[in-house]
Amino acid sequence: MRLVTCVSSRIPGVSNRVAKVASFSTVTVSVRFYGTRGSRPVVGPDHAIFGGDTSFVVIEAGGEPVFLDLGTGMDSFARRLGAGQRVRASALLSHYHFDHVQGLPFFTAVDVEGARLRIFTPGGREPLERLFSPPFFPVSPLRYRGEITVSHVEEGRFELAASRVEVLALEVPHTDTAFGYRIEADGISICYIPDHQAPGGLDSFDERALRLAEGADLVIHDAQYSEAEFASKSHWGHSTHGYAAALAHEAGAKHVALFHHDPSRTDAELLAVERELAARYARRGLRVTAARQGELILLSDEHAAAAGAL
């Protein structure tokens, strides 16, 4: 049995939807998008559907939450927790570009006694120490009342036992060192590649990116540019909408969520991109959506392919 229903979620100020799969499965993994924008946060009526906060996604698989990057979407998560509430979580940081870390110093849920945030990153603690210190920033979040640890991650597999997930970390092409992650929990797999330099011809795929996305129930992938924009920005470290979908299809994934939306991209433009690519890949077995801020996707181990339905 498979039943897909959509109900509203409850994050004030954003357009939220829940894609829920009801089945006889006992394992459910949730994925919520708190920030889907790339480069810088934006605000205004043209960004009401897909949101304006930068990269921050939360995965829950029955244990402590797993954060994907540390963008400005962290603030919405903290407000959802409530004032004075502490967090205990792990974070997989893809790289240090500002749009992926700028939420950390404003994350009040870790400035609480007993809070704990374990950050895993391909560069260790020192870059964060430099970034969040005078003259660039007045107070280091690494000195907040909660415990923040930063661990250097090498390519390979490791377990986040408190979160009940396993992680595969691999470097992917970008302008600076950047990692993609594959998060696995009881047969469910989620691939996260937020910044990915597509090849100039958009005609080949990086083997590590394909490995991360292989057969995944959900691929969250950089889709910052149109092909016209990519022609002049092919060395800026990102992918096109079409390339993100093509890579997910090549990897045999079930659903790709276009992510890291360009700050100039309006709701109307993203809806048009979503419609065009969804129609193109519908008969090829790949679901294509554009990630919306506040959207919740629930994946079951039996019917994960249906998650993300609108």
Would you call 132 helix, strand, or coil by DSSP? coil
- The pLDDT value given to residue 302: 58
Question: Which of the four pLDDT bands, split at 50, 70 and 90, describes residue 1?
Answer: very low
Laid out side by side, the sheet with 255-259 consists of 156-160, 165-172, 178-185, 188-193, 218-222, 255-259, 287-290
Angle at 47 between CA 46 and CA 49, to 5 degrees: 110
The pTM (predicted TM-score) of the whole model is 0.89
Q: Which of 3-12, 26-35, 93-102, 132-141 reaches the highest mean pLDDT?
A: 93-102
Cβ contact 238:38 at 8 Å: yes
What's the pLDDT tens digit per position in 16-36? 444 443 334 467 999 999 999
Q: 3-80+156-306 in CATH: which number?
A: 3.60.15.10
